Amino acid sequence: LGKGTGLGMSQVQSFASQAGGQLEIASDLGQGTVVSIFLPCTIAITPAETAAAPALKPVQGNVLLVEDNIDIGEAVTAILQHAGAKVRWYRSADEALRAVAGGLQVDAVLSDVSLPGANNGIDLARQLASTRPDLRVVLMTGYTDRLQEAVAAGFHVVPKPASADTLIRAITQAGERAGSGKASQLSSRGGMPHHF
């Protein structure tokens, strides 16, 4: 915390592979490092193919976002708001827990795992599971060990970096599992061109 996420190269690798390309790194002692990203040429999309793409349905409901990285928090907030969700963003699990205990209406939670304070994202998910079993919590992490820990604890985890489509699908599933009332029905499909 406070020294960067260490995810820079992981994000570049993920971007390259998601785009159908690859990343190559060559390093020579005393000479430096060259990072090369190879991406495929674009393929023209016909108007018929564009029309066939499914439209994105709005996300309905209140999403509690817990993310201490300002850039990621702003990006994810924009993605969820663009999809129609009402987003409340907190930068620590402790703040989020206080807000929920204070009566904040929440339909789904999207939280980073590594957070400052007494509780991390897994602690948040466990506490919410005990007090709000109807509430579906989705965790995000870029660290493999934390991802495995969260999955072993029974929580849905989205690996970082993730596409907007992946995030929205996770929130959609959260709403579908949280209950059948209108307030908790978070629904969407299709994709968005944004990533965080």
Residues 105-135 pLDDT 10s = 998 999 999 999 999 999 999 999 899 888 8
Instruction: Check residue 194 and give its pLDDT.
Output: 38
Please check the confidence at residue 193 and state whether its pLDDT lies above 50. Answer: no
Compute the average pLDDT of residues 169-196.
49
Say which residue, 149 or 138, is predicted with more confidence.
138
Please check the confidence at residue 179 and state whether its pLDDT lies above 60. Answer: no
pLDDT tens digits, 22-78 = 889 999 999 999 989 998 887 665 565 555 545 555 677 899 999 999 999 999 999
CA dihedral (187, 181, 137, 91) in degrees, to 10, reads 90
Instruction: Check residue 115 and give its pLDDT.
Output: 92
92 band by pLDDT with thresholds 50, 70 and 90 = very high
Q: Tell me the three state secondary structure of residue 49.
A: helix
Please check the confidence at residue 173 and state whether its pLDDT lies above 70. Answer: yes
Instruction: Enter the tokens of residue 1.
Output: 């915390």
Report pTM: 0.65
Nearest to 123 by CA among 147, 94, 144: 94
**Which residues, 6+ apart, have CB-to-CB distance to 174 below 8 Å?**
107, 108, 109, 110, 136, 137, 138, 156, 186
Average pLDDT, the chain: 79
CA distances from 92 to 28, 110, 121, 182, 194 (A): 41, 12, 8, 28, 24
Say which residue, 11 or 81, is predicted with more confidence.
81
On the 0-12 / 13-18 / 19+ scale of CB atoms within 10 A, 164 is buried
Please check the confidence at residue 195 and state whether its pLDDT lies above 90. Answer: no
E strand segments, 4-135 = 22-28, 32-38, 62-66, 86-90, 108-112
